[in-house]
Amino acid sequence: MMLPIKVGHAYDVHRLVSGEYLILGGIKVPCEFSFEAHSDGDVVFHAVSEALLGALGEGDLGTHFPDNDDRYLNYPSSNIFLYCLDLVEKAGYVIGNIDCSIYLEKPKIARYIQHIKNNLANIAKISPSQVNIKACTNEKLGEIGSSLAGAASAVVTLFNKDTIG
């Protein structure tokens, strides 16, 4: 039975290490950090992709892209996002909206938010008005607040293609 609406939620976190930039939603943000990860560590693409998998009932990223598989070493997270978008299409759904929060104490990313939003919308072939990106600090608390980690959470809404006009 194809439900008219499905919702997925996910959270992704990666350790910050010394580097030259972070990749957030496919956008390079120059700074003194990089994400430590098996893939390129893009927490935005990871959270949104896993939320898509969740809405479809298709498990998690580790099921589809195991971190002990060298095929995915330094793998571009944009490819993970494209894979999940393909699953959405094959299941007969379209994206209603994407809402993503990015948790970083630094760097400040306000000037990159529109670029991240536009990139997600462009790749997903949806309107930028269907994507929301928020920048959050952790008020200097915990690993994120101490700039030892960065994270993102996402909620997505999917609509059955046959139930929309």
Cis amide leading into 4 (omega within 30): no
- In order of 3, 30, 98, 115, 154, the CA distances from 111 in angstroms are 38, 12, 19, 8, 20
**Residue 69 marked as a ligand binder:** yes
**Residue 39 marked as a ligand binder:** yes
Nearest-5° Cα angle at 37, 36 to 39: 140
From the list 25, 17, 16, 38, the residue with the least C-alpha distance to 102 is 25
**Residue 35 marked as a ligand binder:** no
**Residue 162 marked as a ligand binder:** no
**Residue 96 marked as a ligand binder:** no
**Residue 22 marked as a ligand binder:** no
**Residue 66 marked as a ligand binder:** yes
Helices (H), 11-161: 43-56, 61-64, 77-90, 113-124, 142-145
**Residue 9 marked as a ligand binder:** no
**Residue 61 marked as a ligand binder:** yes
**Residue 87 marked as a ligand binder:** no
- What is the DSSP secondary structure assignment for residue 91, as one 8-state letter? T
**Residue 68 marked as a ligand binder:** yes
Binding residues for a divalent metal cation: 12, 14, 46
Binding residues: 12-14, 38-39, 46, 60-62, 65-69
